[in-house]
Amino acid sequence: MAEKKDVEINSRADTIDLMHPDIRPWPVTPPPPPEEVAKVYARRKAEDFGKWCEDNLRYEYSFAKPEALQGFRFVCVGLWRMGHKFCGGLLCEAGAEVINIEPPEGDPARQLTPFGRKEYMLESKVTGEKCGLDFIHEMRGQRSVTLNLETEEGREIYRRLVGMADGVIDEMPAGYMDSIGLGYRHLHKEFPRLVYCN
């Protein structure tokens, strides 16, 4: 029987001597170099991932399927805060139509920029108006309409919009919408099926 020896392996070159039958009586295959392993692993990983995508995600049908909230319409109203815009963005991603109400001077959130720096604002090629990145990101997929809720005409247009909607996302200061007659208790009487998020 072969004599047992303590062998220290620090590199691939150290394994070559282990193939000697006096040290190890059975055949030993030296490990492949890292480059060879990486190529095989990358190919196998790409094949496995591609097969998984085909089996589970079914990309060829992804654009033909209806969205979960397709056909639903929501009206968002709020100033400065981004919660209703974020919520509206999620609803849009699920297929809903979201209409954001802005005051005549524009939503103040349009001016929000990282660190308050105006050089981070993007300029419209059509109107030349500047807008902050936060607003652009959170408003993805949403529509905007300018309404002055302080006037009777603006409130009437808002009521008509809400009448065509399935839900309202209200992030105005507490009590403001009630003070102008457009809060939940007022709209619920006209539109009992309306979902009102506050």
- The count of C-alpha atoms lying within 13 angstroms of the C-alpha of 149, restricted to the half-sphere facing its C-beta, is 21
Domain count of the chain?
Answer: 2
pTM: 0.64
Residues 57 and 130 in one domain: no
- Average pLDDT rounded to a whole number, residues 178-192: 92
Residues 33 and 83 in one domain: no
Closest CA to 148 of 187, 104, 184: 104
CATH of the domain at 144: 3.40.50.10540
More confident residue, 190 or 59: 190
Structure tokens at 188: 């619920």
Residues 54 and 123 in one domain: no
Tell whether 5 is covered by a domain.
no
Query: Is pLDDT above 70 for 2?
Result: no
Residues 85 and 177 in one domain: yes
Least confident span in 15-19, 35-39, 103-107, 162-166: 15-19
Amino acid occupying residue 183: G
Tell whether 79 is covered by a domain.
yes
The 3-class SS string of the chain reads CCCCCCCCCCCHHHHHHHHCCCCCCCCCCCCCCHHHHHHHHHHHHHHHHHHHHHHHCCHHHCCCCCCCCCCCEEEEEECCCCHHHHHHHHHHHCCCEEEEEECCCCCHHHHCCHHHCHHHCEECCCCCCEECHHHHHHCCCCEEEECCCCCHHHHHHHHHHHHCCCEEEEECCCCHHHHCCCCHHHHHHHCCCCEEEC
Tell whether 2 is covered by a domain.
no
Residues 163 and 142 in one domain: yes
Residues 91 and 29 in one domain: no
**C-alpha to C-alpha distances, 12 to 18, 29, 118, 181, nearest whole angstrom:** 11, 11, 57, 80
**To the nearest 10°, the Cα dihedral for 92, 97, 102, 106?**
60
Residues 100 and 16 in one domain: no
Q: For strands 167-171 and 195-197, give the pairing.
A: parallel
Residues 104 and 192 in one domain: yes
- For residue 197, give every residue at least 6 positions away whose Cβ sits within 8 Å of its Cβ, in sequence order, or none: 87, 167, 168, 169, 170
Residue 152 in contact with residue 158, Cβ under 8 Å?
A: no
Q: What is the pLDDT of residues 45-96, one digit of tens each?
A: 777 877 777 777 666 666 666 788 889 999 999 887 788 889 999 999 888 9
